[in-house]
Each structure stands twice: as C-alpha cells, then as structure tokens.
Amino acid sequence: MSEKKPSRAAAPPVGREIARRAKSNLAFALSTLPRQRKEDMMTFYAFCRVIDDIADEPVDTVAERQRALDGWKHGILHGFEEPDDLQAEVAELPKTYPIDPTLLAEIVNGVASDLVTTRYRTYEDLLAYCYKVACVVGLVSIEIFGYKNPACKEYAVALGYALQLTNIIRDVAEDARNGRIYLPQEDLERFGVNEVDLLEGRHTPEFEALMQFQHDRARAFFTQAASLLPKEDRRHMLAAEMMGQMYGEILEKIRQRHFHVFGPRIGLSKLRKIAILGAYTAKGLLRTS
C-alpha cells in the first residue's frame, strides 16, 4: 500500500522548472494532485526528461552519453557524491515515498538501451523495452500519487504499455529520421513495409494496415488498464486517468487521419486539454463529496 504523506515543507524548484519548460501533456494531468505530490511528480518527470535528453544528445559520443547515464544510475543506487540540484531532489523521492531505487535505475537502463538498440525483432522484444521506459515510470508514479489497493500496480503497467505504444505510433517518422525504428521487424515483414518506406514517408495501403495493427495493440492495453483500476483508487489515479484520456484521444485522432503520421505531430489542442482537465477535476470533487 502507498498512503504515506509527503513530509517536506517545500520542494526545490528545479524539477518544476524543467517540467514547465517541457510543456507536455503531463503538466495538465498533474494539476489534479495536491501541491507537494505535484512538486514531487515534476521532479520525477524532470529526471525522466533529463536522462532521455542525455541519450538523445547528438553532440556527445555514445561513450560519453553512457558515462553520463551510468553516473545517474550509480548515484541513484549508491548516493550522489556532489549532486546537482535535480539529483538532490531525485534522491529525496525514495526517502519520502516507498519507491524502490532499483526502479529508477531500471528507467535509466531502458533509456540507455536506445544508445545501442535501434531495432526490435519481435513484439515481445519491444514490450521488454516499453516496460523499462514506460511501465516502470508508471510504477514509480503511483507511489507518488498514493494508492490503497496493490492491484494499482497492474493498472500502472497496462497503462504504461498503452502510452508508450501510442508514442511509438505517433512518432514513427521522427524516430526513423533519428535512426530508430521501434515497430517490430517481424511486423514490417508481415505487412510488406520496409525501412525505406518509413524514412521516405510513404503512406501506402500496406503501411496503413501495419499501423492499424499497432493501433489495435495499443487500444487493447488502454482497455485492459481501465478494467484493472481498483474502484477505491480512482480518486488517487486522476492524473493517470487524465494521461490515459489524452493519449487515448491522440491514438484515435491518428486512426481517424488514416495514420498520416509523416506530417506535423498529431496532438490535442490546448483547449481540449483544458476541457479534459476540467472534467477530471470535477470527477475528483465528486469522488471526495
């Protein structure tokens, strides 16, 4: 169970500032959280963002990026010798919540795999990657959100798969330009799509069929997550439900556009995000009344 209340009087602003600059969907979702939990989730998000940026930094060599990620991993597991402000904030999270530091290290491992692995042979291989970079993120997040029923962990894992698979569908073109193809090689072969098709942005009937297949997999995880969320923890998981709502809508928007993902990135308008925030804020008020 996870009902421990944060005890720190104030959180340093570094994580909050990084999260604010990122302008991600998460900023809207976190608005449903109590102030301190929101601050701590911003710290956690900033951690995820920073290590992801390290892996994507084009001016550094692979060895340099790996050393930087190894430094984060060592600090998480053994303590930072001279932590910067964000590292100091991250180090506080396992002291405030029942977060196993090895989960944070596993996220680093997942991000580090992008340095050496640019293709995934099977769907099972892809899911193993998604677990590290998305499902584990969910497992850490629910500890910060707080929950009563341990079944929330299964919910977090299913939702993590759904969110990451949606990201992969949305970012096919960008990832291909960066030399990474997350769509399983076995699926490309099955539907008659090759890597040149992705690099050149060829929207063929074969590509659309391939993407519909990936859509159905992601949608199945959204459905599974909804069925796994314990009733007594729906109020605690409002932020997670908001993320699921936003990414679920993005997934359907992509489908409605027949998987034309080679143009501008498909997302939700700020107005739509505000509407979703209002709806879930109202849900939270109703569940506490």
CB-count exposure of residue 254 (10 Å: 0-12, 13-18, 19+): buried
Which residue type is seen at 207?
F
Q: How far is CA 99 from the centre of its chain?
A: 17
Contact predicate 280/288, CB 8 Å: no
The per-residue pLDDT for 281 is: 81
**pLDDT tens-digit readout, 41-56:** 999 999 999 999 999 8
pLDDT digits (tens, 9 = 90+) for 81-139: 999 999 999 999 999 999 999 999 999 999 999 999 999 999 999 999 999 999 999 99
Which residue segments constitute the domains of the chain, with CATH numbers given? 14-288 (1.10.600.10)
pLDDT confidence of residue 10: 46
What pLDDT does residue 21 have?
64
What radius of gyration do the chain's Cα atoms show?
19
What pLDDT is attached to residue 11? 42
Q: Which residues are bridge partners to 130 per DSSP?
A: none
Within the chain, which residues score under 70 in pLDDT? 1-24, 284-289
